[in-house]
Structure 1
Amino acid sequence: MTLTTDSAGAATPYAPGERGAVVVYRGATLFDGTGAPPRPATSIVVDGPVIRAVVPDGDPAAAVDGAEVVDLTGRFVTPGLIDAHQHLATPPDRPAAEAVLRRLAHSGVTGVRDMADDLRQIGDLARAALVGEIAAPDIHYAALMAGPGFFDDPRTHQVTRGAVPGEVPWMQAVTDTTDLPIAVALARGTHAAAIKVYADLEAPLVAAVTAEAHRQSIPVWAHAAVFPATPGQVVAAGVDTVSHVTLLAHETATRPLTSYRDKPPVDHASLVTGADGRLDALFARMREQGVVLDATASLWSSAELAGDERADANTELAVALTAQAHRAGVELATGTDYETPPGDPFPALYDELAFLVRRCGIPERDVLRSATLVGARSAGVGHLTGSVEPGKLADLAVFTRDPLADIGHLRTITLTVKRGRRLARADYSTDLPRETR
């Protein structure tokens, strides 16, 4: 086949930086995400999309001939933030999704986990974000597996329009008779970063899905309770992350779990003490296995859900169990599972981080590590991003005031660097896609 025309394709104003274009960000106080204390007067040498060196300002490695120098004296730098629980296409709405992504990118967020959606649209959004057609974080997304009973849920119809829920590669119904090697291969064919295990699966099937996914080198992101599989059984299956801290309460259920629609009540009064031995044992196993908890702790206090008795009770439960998990040494990722209204200048991730500090009593340094390196690990990309180190992607967030002193200082964001491409916060106020460098 001979092409008679040659098109460059869509414009990519937000493309990653190009190798050989060196930028030195100097003078900053750096929280690098590794657990090390903040480093004042630090230079970050960026070569295209990648960090070349992180050194004191006076180090010879920071003096690169021909490099552009960006003076960040008096500013505070963290790794790019990660929202570990987003839904960007349930139902698909491309303009709305791009608006959410644009706000995230201009708020210091350089990565998100999309926890199962219509992957026909999510795949294209992920591609557009990666090549720079749109201002957006990198998107790491999951293909979902659940029991057949779950696919009466109207959301499954929203994300499979034109096809049959449960019979598409990104949203599969699985049973004891499913050919799991084929099912996992189909999910991987969507370019998904993980398999999401959701609902209506017995413990042996959760374990079988997880084992096959790992055999094919793809992680498993699970709901903390899969009904009838309990939280303990989900963790024992070897999953990589679990979502929704309030679902962990079902580890204390007084009757067997049955299905996603038939969740038994939990004893809020005893659990809000944050000192339940059954959960301590579960958290100890999570810590030993390295299972990350995507707590979505502030979800029930969001504007959409807050205000009724059930939401208030679940908020208090989330506070107690998240604090208990943190004390037990469980790694927390900062997912939201909701967004602030379109007119809000800042994303829900800021509210989640503030909730973890102010309601759950977790120190700012731990919360920022959760929102950076742990978040990157939850998405399977901790080797690429999540900390400011040589060889990693140049994903940075720059603030005028120190978020380690007050988590509210996240709202002083002034610059995002994503894969070496600069996104000035000032450009977001116009809400127009503008090229920045």
Structure 2
Amino acid sequence: MHTPRRPATRWATALFLALSVSAAWAAGSAGPGASATEAATLYAGATVIDGTGAAPRVNQDILVRAERIVAVGPHGSLEGTHDASFHTVDLHGSYVIPGLIDSHVHLATPPDAKRAQAILRRNLYAGVTAVRDMADDLRSVAELAREARAGEIPAPDIYYAALMAGPTFFLDPRVSAASYGVTPGKSPWMQSIDENTDLREAVTLARGTSATALKVYADLPPDLVAKITAEAHRQHIMVWAHSAVFPTRPADVINAGVDVVSHACYLAYQLEPVMLASYEDHTPFHDALLAPSGDDPVIAGLYRDMLKHGTILDATGSLFVRYDAERKTHPERKPLRCTGPTTTRLVRQAWKAGVPISTGTDSDGGLDQVWPSVYDEIRFLVHDVGMPPIEAIHSATLVGAQAAGQAKDMGSIEAGKLANFAVLSADPAKDIGNLQSIRMTVKRGRVYPRGGYPPVTKEEMDHDDED
């Protein structure tokens, strides 16, 4: 899979953030979690599930200094850790997993900082240490990302996309909401693309938002999807795309070389004899087109192509399963593009084929949700798709880091990576529901005890209606 270098335009911002964080720590005001300093902390005696898919390792020590993991090894084996200057946290009887990653969120369509901060807080205190924002008003998302990175708000780190789509998409009212004050399609974070667009300039403008990636969204023909992808990669920025960029079929999206495709459901449209002409046509996929039993051969071909290109699948399966269940009590609601069983079948075939699957949700769960939506996606992979819990944790950690282009720094518990992990009281390898036994989240070395979680309030979630 293409691994982009950090664009040069980000160095000034990165330096500013580093200096700001250092100054905050020095002043003793590093944010709502316990402050990370140069003093080392030894997390001792835990069972470690490292995120790689490997079996759990019992009685392990994790040595953390400032933001990063210095060493991991059997209890008592790490050199120098018997020094009295080390702060030790006894984790015997506990389980440690890497910080979870939700690879499909929307934080600002339209912008609502209070609500977004509430959702991000709920995520962090439940073990989510990074999210991938899939195109919103980046003026708001960039500020949330800065606040999260600096520790000014309790939140996962945020990696985000600038959107590109065909001209007809920009009639969508969501675009106006996410581009307020700018002509729809003309903002650097949501650009209308056609055959006359200077793609070099368009990608450069998108990079200027400090986006991690471009999102190729809708209403673009195959040649433009391929040209956008090639130019983005030339400029060392990732490409995240819908798995069908109507009218572009999934095979053409995948073969364009995009890094991640979202929505397993949309892959099914490869089987439609006549492809939908635009994203705005929400005609559901015709289930009868799939092979009556076993793996579908056309879908199998898509998965071979994904493996060849190193493409990650951001499945968003739990969304479709949950919506099916809701329609049983609300039959008046229009169906989504795929049923829950069809989506489950497509994701199961992807998993069996070896396609890497990340845990995106495309849902924030609303006020009534106690736990983050990514828990639903992980449960979907285990209980609906049939993944063993260890593999589902791998999807929610290392594969999520790869989808966000951040695997060098996060996604697994190993020396040199950020100290991003969750401490659980019960074994998630035996029961994935044990994610709810979380004791604390450690993000960039800062501790966020579950007991200190301020629950999301109605005022935070609904305050725009009251203004």
Aligning the two structures, in what range does the TM-score lie when normalised by the shorter sequence? over 0.9
Deviation at 1:37, TM superposition (A): 1.3
Q: In structure 2, the residue corresponding to 1:82 is in which secondary structure? A: strand
Deviation at 1:266, TM superposition (A): 2.4
- How many percent of aligned residue pairs carry the same amino acid? 49
2:63 corresponds to: 45
Listed as ranges, the gaps of 5+ residues in structure 1 are: 1-6, 433-437
- Residue of structure 2 aligned with 1:142, choices 161, 165, 178: 161
2:176 corresponds to: 157
Q: Deviations over 1:242-282 (max 9, x none)?
A: 00010000111111331112255422134374521000000
Q: Relative to structure 2, which stretch is displaced further, 31-40 or 90-99? A: 31-40
Change (3 A) 1:312 1:306: farther
Q: Relative to structure 2, which stretch is displaced further, 34-43 or 415-424? A: 34-43
Q: In structure 1, the residue corresponding to 2:119 is in which secondary structure? A: helix
Matched, 1:105 2:130: no
Listed as ranges, the gaps of 5+ residues in structure 2 are: 1-19, 458-467
Mapped contact 1:373–1:386 kept (Cα < 8 A) = yes
Matched, 1:297 2:317: yes
Q: In structure 1, the residue corresponding to 2:169 is in which secondary structure? A: helix
1:3 corresponds to: none
Q: Distance in 2 between matches of 1:39 and 1:223?
A: 37
Q: Deviations over 1:345-376 (max 9, x none)?
A: 20111111111111111111111000000000
Q: Deviations over 1:162-217 (max 9, x none)?
A: 11110000000011110111100100000000000000000010000000000000
Mapped contact 1:300–1:314 kept (Cα < 8 A) = yes
2:398 corresponds to: 373
- Residue of structure 1 aligned with 2:297, choices 269, 272, 277: 277
- Aligned-pair RMSD on alpha carbons? 2.1
Matched, 1:409 2:428: no
2:213 corresponds to: 194
Q: Distance in 2 between matches of 1:80 and 1:314?
A: 31
Instruction: Give the TM-score, by structure 2 length.
Output: 0.87
Q: Deviations over 1:121-178 (max 9, x none)?
A: 0000000000000000000000000000000011101101111110000000011110
2:144 corresponds to: 125
Q: Relative to structure 2, which stretch is displaced further, 37-46 or 248-257? A: 248-257
Q: Distance in 1 between matches of 2:159 and 2:153?
A: 16
Q: Relative to structure 2, which stretch is displaced further, 9-18 or 74-83? A: 9-18
2:419 corresponds to: 394
- Where do 1:412-423 residues align within 5 Å? 412-423=437-448
Mapped contact 2:358–2:399 kept (Cα < 8 A) = yes
Q: In structure 2, the residue corresponding to 1:233 is in which secondary structure? A: helix
Change (3 A) 1:304 1:362: closer
Q: Which amino acid aligns with 1:343?
A: D
Q: Distance in 1 between matches of 2:367 and 2:70?
A: 37
Q: In structure 1, the residue corresponding to 2:267 is in which secondary structure? A: helix
Matched positions, count: 426
Mapped contact 2:348–2:386 kept (Cα < 8 A) = yes
Matched, 1:178 2:197: yes
2:108 corresponds to: 89
Q: Distance in 1 between matches of 2:31 and 2:82?
A: 26
Q: Distance in 1 between matches of 2:428 and 2:352?
A: 22
- Where do 1:2-401 residues align within 5 Å? 12-14=30-32, 18=36, 20-61=38-79, 63-65=81-83, 66-271=85-290, 273=293, 275-302=295-322, 306-307=326-327, 308=331, 310-311=335-336, 314-401=339-426
Deviation at 1:429, TM superposition (A): 4.6
Q: Distance in 2 between matches of 1:45 and 1:137?
A: 21
Mapped contact 1:274–1:323 kept (Cα < 8 A) = no
Q: Deviations over 1:76-119 (max 9, x none)?
A: 10000000000011111111000000000000000000000000
Q: In structure 2, the residue corresponding to 1:375 is in which secondary structure? A: helix
Mapped contact 2:61–2:78 kept (Cα < 8 A) = no
Q: Distance in 1 between matches of 2:323 and 2:174?
A: 21
Deviation at 1:312, TM superposition (A): 10
Deviation at 1:340, TM superposition (A): 1.6
Change (3 A) 1:205 1:303: closer
Instruction: Give the TM-score, by structure 1 length.
Output: 0.93
Q: Deviations over 1:388-431 (max 9, x none)?
A: 01000000011111111111111111110000000000001566
Q: In structure 2, the residue corresponding to 1:284 is in which secondary structure? A: helix
Change (3 A) 1:16 1:429: closer
Deviation at 1:60, TM superposition (A): 3.7
Q: Relative to structure 2, which stretch is displaced further, 227-236 or 251-260? A: 251-260
Q: Distance in 2 between matches of 1:426 and 1:54?
A: 26
Q: Which amino acid aligns with 2:299?
A: L
Mapped contact 1:16–1:419 kept (Cα < 8 A) = no
Q: Distance in 1 between matches of 2:274 and 2:354?
A: 29
Q: Deviations over 1:207-231 (max 9, x none)?
A: 0000000000000000000011100
Mapped contact 1:17–1:49 kept (Cα < 8 A) = no
